[in-house]
Amino acid sequence: MDGNRLMQQVIAIFSIFMVLFYLGVGWYFVFYSDLSYLDKPVRVIMGSAFIFYGLYRAFRAYIKIVEVFFTKDKDDE
């Protein structure tokens, strides 16, 4: 395994944590009222944007993880 593939694997794992971050922030904005200085429609719009972006990142992370971890390199054959 060369350094480039190892770096791609680290980035793929890091992307899982970023997905959890985006989904968590979106969930917080939508469902918790601790942010009383923001109007509810603004919180819902921001939270929805974070959630949808988190779902998009989850889809891209899944594709990247399958590509990096479960496919063979041409050099490995």
- Positions in the chain short of pLDDT 50: none
Q: Tell me the per-residue pLDDT of 23-43, one tens digit each, with 9 for 90 and over.
A: 999 999 999 878 778 888 999
What is the tally of structural domains in the chain? 1
Tell me whether residue 13 is in a domain: yes
Q: What is the dihedral of CA 53, 55, 60, 61, to 10 degrees?
A: 110
What local confidence, expressed as pLDDT, does residue 75 receive? 58
Tell me whether residue 33 is in a domain: yes
**Domain hosting residue 63, numbered range:** 3-69
